[in-house]
Amino acid sequence: MGSRAAGTSRLWGKPALAIIGVDVPSVAMSSDTLVPAARARFSLSLAPGTDTAAAMEAVRRHVESHIPFGAEVTFTPGGRTEGFAGDASSPAARAMLSAMGESWGVPAVCMGVGGSIPAVNILNKLYPEAEILITGAEDPDSRAHGANESIHLGDFENDPRRGPAAGPIKRPGLTLA
């Protein structure tokens, strides 16, 4: 096993391909025969600065070089968006990190996630002088965009955007104080 730093570097700085959908016969309709047709959709996550067209072409070449004998493959690329990397040393980022650290009582952590959100790079190109900050209220068990995604309501209590005057979060039958 590699080091934690190596794993983090791979997670945030290397491409990742995930199959996000497959059309094949269902288990209920399956039989011990060759499948006449199948279809798959994938998501390709890339680090900021990666040429998305070149990456898609590399996937196409890989798929087309592994076609089973007699099979016909149609490769249809989907939409692409360039990655975004914010500047954690900018004045706005330093102020946000300080406020988050004060709110939670521990130093804030910068993580390389969400860099392929399409609207972020659009905003960055429209307003290059803007300091874009992407934040998320997540705890280690949030499983963002995964199965059983959730957030602990206490995370909202510490959100520095609420301010101390907002008081505790109240819900019917539940008060977070």
Q: Where are the domains of the chain?
A: 8-65, 91-158
Residue 3 pLDDT > 70: no
Residue 132 pLDDT > 60: yes
Residues 63, 49: Cα–Cα separation, whole Å = 24
Contact (Cβ atoms closer than 8 angstroms) between residue 42 and residue 20: yes
Contact (Cβ atoms closer than 8 angstroms) between residue 166 and residue 177: no
Residues 12, 45: Cα–Cα separation, whole Å = 10
Q: What angle do CA 117, 122, 128 make, to 5 degrees?
A: 120
Residues 175, 177: Cα–Cα separation, whole Å = 6
Residue 11 pLDDT > 70: no
In the chain, % of residues over pLDDT 70: 74
pLDDT (average), residues 17-36: 91
State the pLDDT at residue 175: 46
State the pLDDT at residue 176: 46
Radius of gyration of the chain (CA): 22
pLDDT (average), residues 78-100: 86
Which amino acid is located at 172 in the chain?
P
User: What mean pLDDT is reported for the chain?
Assistant: 80
What are residue 9's phi and psi, to 5 degrees?
-60, -40
